[in-house]
Amino acid sequence: MFFIDTVEVPGLGNRSYLAGGTRTAVVVDPPRDIDHVLEAAARRSVRITHVVETHVHNDYVTGGLELARVTGAAYLVPAGARVAYERTPVADGDRTDIDADLVLRAVATPGHTPHHTAYVLEEAGAPVAAFTGGSLLIGTVGRPDLVEPRLTEGLARAQHASAHRLADELPDETAVLPTHGFGSFCSSAQNGAVGGGSTIGAERTGNEALVKDVDTFVDELLAGLDDIPAYYTHMGPLNARGPLPVDLAPPAIADADEIAARLAEGEWVVDLRNRVAFAAGHVAGAVNFEADGQLATYLAWLVPWGKPITLLAESPEQLADAQRELVRVGIDRPAAGATGAVESWLRDGEQPRSFRRATFAELADSPKDGVVVVDVRRDSERAAQGWLTGSVHVPVHHLRSRLGEIPDGVVWVHCAGGMRAAIAASLLDAAGREVVAVDDGFPAARAAGLPFTDGASAGDGGTTADDATA
């Protein structure tokens, strides 16, 4: 008998897997913080003998090298991957014994990266599961544009061929267990898959790579590619060099004077509390990235790489959880941290800063003179969902560098649901702008009767900061 346990990495939209038999096991695409993987193996009373990577990851820092070192496991990495550390190179067709009657077979599946490799778990010679990494995802495939722009179209065609190879070679009942595709920006489409896995049979009838001819698939995939988080630039090289072990020790505690000094030096002070609490009162100059949101993705995307970060949290537990998320994307050590209430982060005589939260209905009822509406959704969302006529469009990941483009007036900022609007509002507030964070679902904008432009009839995607009118 075999088992497969899923190790969720929800903040990044990824999954890792522990698979094995009664005595030994393999880990596929482990996250940077390996303690959860070790705990899963301990619960199964198995020894990890192999750690495998499907590819050199571009969206997170792997824990594979450290996990192999700690456990003494063999570290299997695709032979075509250029890495700076000792590993066992894996080529197409290589077979690795995992436990009695349990074998892992490597299948070359280029597309997400040129060297991408999937692994088929076989029990007594019969395929039971395919660890597909960033190749065949649930309903879609991994994006092919993260390596080199000149390779993108060729990799997209290879991705189509790799998906078909897996579908042609494996039985319908084979489980499909990808690493990406649960909210990860490594997925070529956000398909909403959040539950269990899938099967080859289900993908054969529903995956876009398997139901479209190659030219249609490639044209549509390339046309639909979304923005790439800025920190992805650093992930591949870091993984190729070999990540250092994780240090999750609590950071040095900052008092109110140190918080003020760090802000004065231009460092980032990040308030991890929920957006309601932050809007009600916060340290002037701090920015808000909710600990319960996609903290690692958006903070790593927006912060200048290598900039010192001080974390403000409600509790030591919230601070520790945030540290764990951030090491997964290479933000290894906060410069400092503080916990408690906002009053403890302020110097004597200082007052907390605040801004208003509102709904689209309140925007519709508000005076229009002197109001600037800023839409911080991505280009693809705006094109697909439409936009408020006359709104300024600055995606949240561009806002920090384009603050000077926002016209004068009271800034009402919105996204699709409220989380990114809160980030944007905090950036605007830190820059001294009067801001209102629209904490509302975007469908409510049309229901509120606000002037609306449909995406289907969109010309160029709407108003820019240069020609916006309130």
Query: What would the two tokens of residue 329 be?
Result: 């994307």
| 50: phi then psi, degrees, rounded to nearest 5 | -140, 140
Instruction: Quickly state the pLDDT bin for 147 (edges 50, 70, 90).
Output: very high
- Cα separation, 122 vs 117, whole angstroms: 16
Q: What is the mean pLDDT of residues 3-8?
A: 96
Neighbouring C-alpha atoms within 13 Å toward the C-beta of 347: 7
Please give the pLDDT value at position 441: 97
- N- to C-terminal Cα separation, the chain: 66
Residue 406 vs residues 286, 301, 366, 386, 390: alpha-carbon distances, Å? 20, 21, 20, 20, 13
- Cα separation, 30 vs 175, whole angstroms: 19
Contact 165, 107 (CB under 8 A): yes
Average pLDDT, the chain: 93
- Cα separation, 56 vs 238, whole angstroms: 9
66-92 residues labelled b (16+ CB within 10 A) or e (exposed):
bbbebbebebbbbbbbebeeebbebee
Q: What percent of the chain has pLDDT over 70?
A: 94
Tokens 């004077």 belong to 257
Q: What is the pLDDT of residues 432-468, one digit of tens each?
A: 999 999 999 999 999 999 999 998 544 444 443 433 3
| 372: phi then psi, degrees, rounded to nearest 5 | -120, 125
Please give the pLDDT value at position 122: 98
Q: What is the pLDDT of residues 212-246, one digit of tens each?
A: 999 999 999 999 998 999 999 999 999 999 999 99
DSSP string, 340-399: S-GGGGS-TT---B--EEE-HHHHHHS--TTEEEEE-S-HHHHHHH-EETT-EE--HHHH
Q: What is the pLDDT of residues 154-204, one digit of tens each?
A: 999 999 999 999 999 999 999 999 999 887 677 665 543 334 679 999 999
Give the dihedral sign, CA 35/36/39/41: negative
Please give the pLDDT value at position 401: 94
Q: What is the pLDDT of residues 52-106, one digit of tens each?
A: 999 999 999 999 999 999 999 999 999 999 999 999 999 999 999 999 999 999 9
